[in-house]
Amino acid sequence: MTESNGNAVTPPFNILYEDNHIIVVLKPQMTACCPDESKDDNVFDQIKQYIKTTYNKPGNVYLGLVHRLDRPTGGVMVYAKTSKAAARLTAGLQTGDFEKKYLTVLCGTPDSERGTLCNYLRKNTVNNMVYICTPSEEGAKYAELDYKLVESKGKYSLVGVRLHTGRTHQIRVQMAGISHPVFGDMRYGGAQAQKGKLALWAYSLSFSHPVTKERLKFIAYPPEEETPWKAFELSKAVEIK
């Protein structure tokens, strides 16, 4: 929970940027980005509490959820502090204004140094699993990403990913689909994935400010001291175009 001392607040997340319209934060791994059926503490409610306490806001604080990250995935997220900002950011997300890049550690090494993966994905709401399917299946949604091999070390590879669509579990499912599951992803990779934290991190987020229209870009590295990230030179990743 957010710690408070008068109006001095130390939120349980890092704030990368904040103004009257948006707040950009670093979502911790294993913390939900918004409320769900688990009723667990989540970044959305933490931000609302931070704003309410810091700025002495009465009543219910507005906060807009613009995009999502899976609970096991850490990294950069933007939330809207006004309904106007939320509407404009959401519109930008739908028209391709957002550029989202990820770092991941995969089991094995992809055959091609660069590649584009295009699949149709279907979510099973009963078990919360996502599957590669045919375009004609009910609930099928198109998914596309680009990847680039950054570095290989033994049985694992550091890979940069740029999403063109934002489907549930997209990177995890598509990488498992080419037999290179994400490290730590026991759900889609099984024993091959190795036990540990999911090695998937939203390290770069770029978008146009909803009011000033200035192009903003935020970069945050994954936990460099943790396995398996510590085996790689993460600075190489920012060179990915």
Active-site annotation, residues? 70
How many residues belong to the chain? 241
User: 24, 29, 6: which is closest to 14 by C-alpha?
Assistant: 24
Instruction: List the beta bridge partners of residue 99.
Output: 206
Instruction: List the beta bridge partners of residue 152.
Output: 157
Tokens 């995969």, residue?
106
Q: Can you list the alpha helix ranges (DSSP code H) found in the chain? A: 43-54, 83-95, 170-177, 186-189
Provide DSSP, 90-139.
HHHHHHT--EEEEEEEEES--SSSEEEEEEEEEEETTTTEEEEE-TTSTT
User: 98, 107, 120: which is closest to 208 by C-alpha?
Assistant: 98
Give the HSE-up count for residue 101: Cα atoms under 13 Å, Cβ half-sphere: 21
Query: What residues have CB less than 8 Å from 75, skipping those under 6 apart?
Result: 26, 27, 69, 102, 201, 202, 203, 205, 220, 222
Amino acid symbol at 172? R
Tell me, rounded to whole angstroms, the distance of Cα 51 from its chain centroid: 22
